[in-house]
Chains A and B, each alone.
Chain A
Amino acid sequence: MVQLRDVTVRYESGIAALQNVNLTVEKSEFLFLVGPTGAGKTTLLKLLTREVIPSEGTVIVADKDVTKMKPSQIPYLRRLIGTVFQDILLLPDRTVWENVAFALRVTGASSGEIAREVPKALETVGMLHKAKAFPAELSGGEKQKVALARALVVKPLLLLADEPTGNLDPTSSLEIVDLLLRINRQGTTVIMATHDKAIVDAYRKRVVEIVGGRIVRDELRGVFRRELA
């Protein structure tokens, strides 16, 4: 699903955000990306959505060479990828339903398709009963579930979650990760960048650790190292 070959990202100042990164993520895999703040986790995720272009190396997502992609092809790449962030980014003046439907509307989906897919996505994250609520009426965990529904509604092959539990209490965090795992079991590849030791240790999934822009550890049933906590 994802392949990074000898990828280096260097800023104009010369500082390298990532150096010689090699990583392969198979289809339907679940991966925790760990590392201290500024290690390069977000940069790595942005490489996959082509928000960042590597200075060197190749990035392949769903058999497509992202580095060689024309700007006009990028939107079609992003339709294969769902994204969830720490800053939840819901539209405050729209209901939960409208927030989820927004992702479909911008790709020109018909009203029939929207009426069919939005309830499914909300049902998956357990938020269908709050479809008419506005974001201000929701808790942090509920907002993140809505953001997750918005990412899911386009039926992505790959789900990128950048610190999705960063602002949540432990119970909500576990709910979100449980949801991500459920989505993963349905066949979606999930890459989750996190600082949450408890979660990484509890689920024992593949863990890739980045420090100073380099991958320093890649374990199949890994834990969050104590020194990172």
Chain B
Amino acid sequence: MCSVVSWLSLLAFFLEEALVNLRRHGLVTIATVTTIAVTIGVWVLFSLEARAWEKFLVWEGQKLERLCVFLKPDADKKTAEKLAEQIQKLPYVVQVKFVHKDEGLEKLQRMFGNSVPLEDLVGHNPLPHALEVTCTSPQETVECAAKIKQMPMVDEVTFPAIAVQRYVQIVRSIRWRNHALSILLAIIAFILIFNALRVSVYGRRNEIRIMQLVGATVWTVRGPLLMEGLLYGVLGGLGTLVLAKLLLALNAAFPQETTCWTGLLGSWVEWRMLLNDIQIDSVFVSQVLLLSMGLSFLSAIIAAVRLVRAV
């Protein structure tokens, strides 16, 4: 009970000290909180943009994850079904569908339109039986195709190889860009928080000296700095929420044609589309606050350990 009171009393002390410092170094506080707010805000926009890209690419990708396996002309239906079972066992294969050569001809006929009757033209159905294989994602199609091609009775495996390659490149570059920019922003935010706490330590050097002399533990001396970092996080997160609210208000106030989001990889993802994904609900608020407080608190721990050492 006594130690609980002691801890609560220390926490109250940390909070008071942190608030005194936030007030004492007002300009530094404003600069740091603004940076955190913008950093988290940009993170949110990046994640929304990434989500929009992914939605688009998943939709496009659905066309790219299919392979068409043409069997040798002498392969009958039974052989095709055996082969289908074999292919189904391969990793990354979701579905295998047998396409009878008559069905294949119908499809081909539909592609050419009814103006050219193919069967009349060639006198018989020249197509082999085929299998339509669906993989888990376009990235796996190349490997699947190579394995299927080695199987007996397989004549040819077709898939949009260049499109798949381009798809994989785009997905990779978006992920890489998002990770790199997120890390860069986190580093900038960390440097600013570190410097804000350095100013705080300098401003509090007398307090720190007194604390050390009257027997405060090193973590008690660091406590107000950690609390300060946490408060930066809370204020920064709230700043992000205010920014998001402002953007949504702007979105509602201006006509749709005037603004267009130009992503780093193209200009067809509409700015509006990203904002439409924002809903300031309890999940969004808690995600933003947790991200902001986590980043600030982590920076504060590193800064406190570096700046305040046991004497």
B interface footprint on A48-79 (CB within 8 Å = 1, 0 otherwise):
01010000000000000000000110111111
Q: At the interface, yes or no: B211 with Cβ under 8 Å from chain A?
A: yes
Chain B residue contacts of A107, Cβ below 8 A = 214-216, 220
A228 within 8 A of partner (CB): no
Q: Which of B214, B220, B310 has the most CB of A within 10 A?
A: B214
Contacting residues, chain B, for A194 (C-beta < 8 A): none
CB <8 Å contact, A106 and B220 = yes
B9–A79 CB distance below 8 A: no
State whether A75 touches B210 (Cβ < 8 A).
no
- In A134-181, the 8 Å CB interface with B consists of 150, 154
B13 near A83: Cβ-Cβ < 8 Å: no
Instruction: Assess the B9–A83 pair: CB atoms within 8 A.
Output: no
B85 to chain A, nearest CB (A): 67
Q: Is the CB of B215 within 8 A of A78?
A: yes
Q: Which residues of B contact A105 (CB under 8 A)?
A: 9-10, 13
Within 8 A of A (CB), among B1-26: 5-7, 9-10, 13, 20, 24
Pairwise interchain contact B213-A78, C-beta atoms closer than 8 A:
yes
Asked if B158 is at the interface (CB within 8 A of a chain A CB), the reply is: no
Count the A-B residue pairs with Cβ separation under 8 angstroms: how many? 66
Size of interface on B: residues with Cβ below 8 Å to A: 24
Interface size class of A (residues with CB under 8 A): 20 to 34
Query: Contact string, B208-232, partner A, CB cutoff 8 A, digits 1/0?
Result: 0111111111101100000000000
Contact of B214 with A106 in the complex, beta carbons under 8 Å: yes
Q: Of the candidates B5, B206, B209, B214, which one forms a contact with A110 in the assembled complex, judged by CB atoms under 8 Å apart? A: B5
Q: How far is the CA of A76 from the CA of B215 in the complex (A)?
A: 6
A89 at the interface (CB under 8 A from B): yes
| A89 B209 Cβ-Cβ under 8 A | yes
B210 touching A89, Cβ below 8 Å: yes
Contact indicator B5/A75 (Cβ below 8 Å): no
Minimum C-beta distance from B13 to chain A (A): 5
Smallest Cβ-Cβ distance to A92: which chain B residue: B206
A111 at the interface (CB under 8 A from B): yes
Q: Which of B179-236 contact A (CB under 8 A)?
A: 206-207, 209-218, 220-221
A74/B310 contact (C-beta < 8 A), A89-B209, A102-B210, A106-B220 known: yes
Listed by A's residue number, 20 A-B pairs whose Cβ atoms lie within 8 Å are A74-B310, A75-B212, A75-B220, A78-B212, A78-B215, A89-B210, A91-B206, A91-B207, A91-B210, A93-B20, A93-B24, A102-B214, A105-B10, A106-B13, A106-B210, A106-B211, A107-B214, A107-B216, A109-B6, A109-B9
Interface, chain A (partner B; CB < 8 A):
49, 51, 71-72, 74-79, 83, 89, 91, 93, 102-103, 105-111, 150, 154
